Amino acid sequence: MNYWLFKSEPDEFGIDDLAACKRERWDGIRNYQARNLLRDQVVVGDQVLVYHSSCKNVGVAGIAEVVTEAYPDPLQFDPDSKYFDPKSSPDNPRWISVDIAFVEKFPRLLPLASIKSNPQLDEMVLVKQGRLSIQPVKAQEWQVILEMVNRGRADA
């Protein structure tokens, strides 16, 4: 079982949307590094930190679980979608998706600033290579993050 961090823009689709629909296709990935991780390493049962980016409060908002293998992202074939890719074709799809299911919304968002200020998380991909939209998370990093979230819970 692997741990990941998936980025979303809460204005488009955030943890609350996932909590409401329980399960959703994670689509629109248009970066090769992220695509390769989805294709080669993400498997059913993997745990995912849902991260909110490009918004007022950036940080980790909750947890989801991978519930399908990678399959072609249908948006790449839809001319009306902003994720349409004219260079892709159904017999040789370029982009893929997985489905994820809602697990938990944190009582409080864990801000990026808190993650950056924790020396135990210095090596996180989020800190070192912030732009990648699908990121591997080490088991140890996952633990540290959950501990930070749980401390916040106790304060609440």
Partner DNA sequence: GCCAACGTTGGC
- 133 belongs to the binding site for DNA (CB under 7 A): yes
> Which residue from 1, 21, 44, 113 is in contact with DNA, where contact means CB under 7 A?
113
- 53-65: string of b/e by CB count within 10 Å (b at 16+)? beeeebbbbbbbb
- 32 belongs to the binding site for DNA (CB under 7 A): yes
Phi, psi (rounded to 5 degrees) for 147:
-65, -40
Rounded Cα gap, residues 41 and 35, in angstroms:
10
Evaluate whether 98 touches 79 at the Cβ level (below 8 Å). no
Nearer to DNA, 3 or 8 (CB): 8
- Three-state DSSP at 36 gives helix
Size of the site for DNA (CB under 7 A): 18
Nearer to DNA, 53 or 68 (CB): 53
β-strand 59-66 against 96-111: which pairing, if any? antiparallel
- 30 belongs to the binding site for DNA (CB under 7 A): yes
Kindly state the smallest distance separating residue 56's Cβ from DNA, in Å: 8
> Which residue from 11, 12, 31, 43 is in contact with DNA, where contact means CB under 7 A?
31
Rounded Cα gap, residues 118 and 149, in angstroms:
13
Binding positions for DNA, 33-92, rule CB under 7 A: 33, 53-55, 58
Interacting residue ranges for DNA, rule: CB under 7 A? 7, 9, 30-33, 53-55, 58, 112-113, 116, 129-133
